Structure 1
Amino acid sequence: MTEGAQLTRAETGNGYDVFHTDCPARDVVDHVTSRWGIWVLISLRSTDLRFYELRDSIRGISEKMLAQTLRALVQDDLVWRKVEPTTPPQVTYGLTEFGQDIGAPLTDLFDRITQRLAADGAPATEGPSTPR
């Protein structure tokens, strides 16, 4: 084994080493976990949305950041894009099968967090967190 956390392709056995800066899977992870990527995937979890519907569902995102995030997620094959030839064009986005696979644990994480929050937004407490 080599020194450090960066392993070679042969050492990982699966063809990808996400700890290496040149790994293509690392880019996908970066896009999914970016500030807005996770919100786009969660917003598209149950329905396809047009650009402005998606923008309105993610409060605080600018049109520029939404466009950049969507471009990256489409390139990663997590989100599909459909353009209707109307005037003006209607663009709809939805999750690909890969996007649904990635979005499922993100949705689970999101649901777990929101279920644990108390009504005032503070984490719910169940007693001491250290074992007895």
Structure 2
Amino acid sequence: MAKITPEIPDGGAVREVLDRIGDKWSLLVIGTLRTGPLRFGDLHTAVTGVSQRMLTLTLKHLVEDGLVTRTAYAEVPPRVEYALTELGRTLVPRVMALAEWAMANREQINANRRSHGGS
């Protein structure tokens, strides 16, 4: 007999949150900020492949969601740093677990894709 998976009581809330933080750039930004605050340029260098526009949008959303803080310092030239909030730090173990799982299973997944005609 097939096991029936219990329904998630508020699937809409799960979808809403995962849509926002589950994209690759958000996860990579959160993982990168785990070691401490970074300036935009340093973050852009660390998150390989992200465009300036996409990084700007990703940071804006993470700040809106309360996962990242944006601190502007009144200096010349101006300095802005991004850091994880307490809430954002609660995601780090989960993000890192997902990253470790992806690295450990990448070869098998790629082999499966090739056997099914994928990229």
Range class of TM-score, shorter chain = 0.7 to 0.9
Matched, 1:122 2:107: yes
Matched, 1:94 2:46: no
Q: Which residue of 1 aligns with 2:61?
A: 72
Runs of 4+ residues over 2 Å off in structure 1 = 25-29, 111-114
Displacement, 1:113? 3.1
Q: What code does the residue aligned with 2:75 have?
A: T
Alpha-carbon displacement from aligned partner over 1:19-76 (angstroms, at most 9, x marks no partner): 23xx4x6433212111311110010111211100000001111111001000000000
Aligned partners of 1:42 and 1:109: how far apart in 2?
10
Aligned partners of 1:105 and 1:39: how far apart in 2?
12
Indicate which of 38, 45, 48 corresponds to 1:49: 38
Provide the aligned length of Structure 1 versus Structure 2: 103
Matched, 1:29 2:21: no
Q: CA RMSD in A?
A: 2.3
Matched, 1:104 2:93: yes
Aligned partners of 2:63 and 2:21: how far apart in 1?
11
Structure 1 unaligned spans of 5+:
1-5, 124-132
Percent of paired sites with the same residue: 32
Structure 2 unaligned spans of 5+:
1-6, 109-119
Higher relative contact order (CA 8 A, sep 6+): 2
Structure number with greater Rg is: 1
Q: TM-score, normalised by structure 1?
A: 0.68
Q: Which residue of 2 aligns with 1:62?
A: 51
Change (3 A) 1:91 1:27: farther
Q: TM-score, normalised by structure 2?
A: 0.75
